[in-house]
Structure 1
Amino acid sequence: MGQEYSHTKTTIPLINDHFLFCPRWRRKVLVGQVESRFKELVSEICAQNDWLILAMEVMPDHVHLFLHCLPTDSPSRIMATIKGITSRRLRQEFPHLRQLPCLWTRFFFVSTTGNISSDTICRCVEAQKKRG
């Protein structure tokens, strides 16, 4: 069996989710200080929600995020939380992002680790920067 979380009296298995999401129209806005601040915000959000970041790679036009979370946390709620908070805060802090009608697309890709190991996904996410 995989890793377990014993936050309460019961033991609950943890889930590993690999998320991929993009800024609207795949604009290359996640660079420089925006990228740094985005990573800080995601780390804060994940810590507040007991989601453990296994790997995170931010490219100018997309994000790979590999999280360790409870099965009670739905992927759509996780994405809504991360996208909602980061969009609001980044647009408040960086005036050039306010020109965009919205920061994120409504869509995202999520894959729960099953047939491939968590180590394999971590290596793939970390290899993103090296590819281009």
Structure 2
Amino acid sequence: MADQYKHANTTVYLLNYHFVFIPKRRRKVLVGPVETRLKEVLAEKCAEMKWDILALEVMPDHVHLSLAADPATAPNQVMHSLKGYTSRILRQEFPHLNTLPALWTRSYFVSTAGAVSGATIQKYIAAQKTRD
């Protein structure tokens, strides 16, 4: 877990976010090759932006993502970047996703890891696949 403080020029920080976001109309389209490719695309974009993925679980109708970001990037910018990039790539590669008016809804859930430990959030996200 990346619970270690990070250093920038004039900043020492530890910002871990837990995001949950869903496809438009909560359609169960995040399965099979779409799920696999979504995980790859999220990893690519996070690596490009220098964000660390702490935990990731893709359910058929929603995504749980825990990541560490820098203080210069607001949570809404993180979501805008990830949703825009993944939507464009996935809709190009999987034409059946073009039947949706948009891949993602505009809404999302975000929480900081301040109230509970990052390990607790990772455990919660990992347990999502086993829930009924």
Using the size of structure 2 for normalisation, the TM-score is: 0.94
Distance in 2, matches of 1:98 and 1:55, equals: 28
Provide Cα deviations, 1:73-112, integer angstroms capped at 9, x if missing partner: 1110000000001001100000101111100000000000
SS of corresponding position for 2:17? strand
Cα offset, 1:5, TM superposition: 1.5
Percentage identity across paired residues of the two chains: 55
Which position in structure 2 is the counterpart of 1:3?
Answer: 4
Which position in structure 1 is the counterpart of 2:77?
Answer: 77
Runs of 4+ in 1 over 6 A off after TM superposition: none
Provide Cα deviations, 1:51-76, integer angstroms capped at 9, x if missing partner: 10000000000000000111221110
Which position in structure 2 is the counterpart of 1:112?
Answer: 112
Q: Is the CA contact (8 Å cut-off) linking 1:19 and 1:65 kept in structure 2?
A: yes
What pairs with 1:54-65 in structure 2 (closer than 5 Å)? 54-65=54-65
Distance in 2, matches of 1:16 and 1:48, equals: 17
Distance in 1, matches of 2:73 and 2:10, equals: 16
Cα offset, 1:43, TM superposition: 0.1
Cα offset, 1:121, TM superposition: 0.4
Aligned length: 130
Amino acid in the other structure paired with 2:69: C
What CA RMSD, in Å, does the superposition of the two structures yield over aligned residues? Answer: 1.1
Provide Cα deviations, 1:22-54, integer angstroms capped at 9, x if missing partner: 001110000000000000000000000111000
Distance in 1, matches of 2:126 and 2:20, equals: 13
Structure 1 spans left out of the alignment, 5+ residues: none
Using the size of structure 1 for normalisation, the TM-score is: 0.94
SS of corresponding position for 2:86? helix
Structure 2 spans left out of the alignment, 5+ residues: none
Which position in structure 2 is the counterpart of 1:68?
Answer: 68
Q: Is the CA contact (8 Å cut-off) linking 1:15 and 1:68 kept in structure 2?
A: yes
Distance in 1, matches of 2:58 and 2:89, equals: 17
Verify: 1:97 aligned to 2:103, yes or no.
Answer: no
Q: Is the CA contact (8 Å cut-off) linking 1:4 and 1:11 kept in structure 2?
A: no
Amino acid in the other structure paired with 1:99: T
Cα offset, 1:12, TM superposition: 2.2
